[in-house]
Amino acid sequence: MPPVAPMLAKAVPAIPAGDYVFEPKWDGFRSIVFRDGAEVEIGSRNERPMTRYFPELVEAIQAELPPRCVIDGEIVLPDFAAGRLDFEALQLRLHPAASRVRLLAARTPAHFVAFDLLALGSDDYTRRPFAERRAALEAALASARPPVHLTPATTDRAVAEACFTRFEGAGLDGIVAKSPGGRYEPDKRVMFKIKHERTADCVVAGYRPHKTGDDAIGSLLLGLYRDSGELASVGVIGAFPMATRRELRAELAPLITTFDGHPWNWAGHAGAGAGLGVRTPRSAEYSRWNAGKDLSFVPLRPERVVEVRYDHLEGSRFRHTAQFARWRPDRSPASCTFGQLEEPPSYSLSDILGKESKSAS
């Protein structure tokens, strides 16, 4: 019975050698699906219900999954025209208005990728080894049709290494390694995940104060220059010890400026960039997910350069919060452009989500 916390993965720097089952790491909403006849519940990674946001998946689950089952997987939103997953469009699916939910379900339908079996009929599979769970899942989904998919899997490390590179072009996060003898352990990091990681030199153009007060940095706002000369907002870094947060606040104080002439001046963009899709921290000072969360920031003269670690881009922004690597006093802000970023090789999402793609091996 819901809710059930999903089994988690621990990050490791490389694909492990040994006896493992390797799967793609999907970039979507982790979900555990519960079906009992016509009754369907979709639970999130945080054990919250997401059923109402994906009515098209409820219909697909009723049509394609066994009559009674609990299956772990990922809700993804494929853009087949672009050949990759669209996480930003998936985020927009979490809308409070029922009319909007129905509209988005028709315009941007989601898919469900299954990768583990917790229960089938009246049988609890969580205490069984993963190899047995995987075999039962393959049998249960043998006739499943899109938008329900079985994730590819392989025991060949060389195949996993090739997929690690190829799948990134389709917007996937990396590779997950599972022990074939492991049980399903909710909320425990017993799997391994290997994610893509790159570095970029970014301009620091502002900061948000820490929640404890303005004597400490909460996060630094990062920018990269486009060919047009515009400084685009690409993300933030914020994982600092408290002592470092206070040191940074004092260190950056001389760079504090006003919005007059700042590249992220809301007034300037409102007059000159209306309708041009210019995204700046100033143009969205409150979170669309939390109306009470203040996202305003303190502008800095864009003179400092920082090297950050990131996994991949979603549009023109870092998909996840970037990580601080080091300051780069040897780099000029003008050199911090999108041209430095490595583009992953293109790979068709259809080759991964195609119905015939049951196994990568």
Q: Which residues are catalytic?
A: 25
DSSP secondary structure letter of residue 101? H
Q: Where are the beta strands (DSSP E) in 145-211?
A: 148-150, 174-178, 189-195, 198-210
Find out whether the peptide bond into 3 is cis, omega within 30 degrees of 0: yes
Residue found by looking up tokens 């760079």 in the block: 255
Nearest to 197 by CA among 312, 320, 305, 85: 312
User: Measuring CA to CA, how many Å separate 282 from each of 41, 182, 208, 210, 221?
Assistant: 38, 48, 12, 18, 11
- Element of type H or E holding 88: helix 87-91
Omega cis (within 30) before 345: no
Closest-CA residue to 2 (of 56, 40, 59, 54): 40
What is the residue type of 271?
Answer: G
DSSP 337-350: BGGGSPPPPP--TH
CA distance linking residue 217 with residue 177, whole number of Å: 36
Q: How far is the CA of 152 from the CAs of 21, 46, 82, 94, 304, in angstroms?
A: 10, 25, 21, 27, 44
Contact 1, 35 (CB under 8 A): no
How far is 234 from 226, CA to CA, in rounded Å? 11
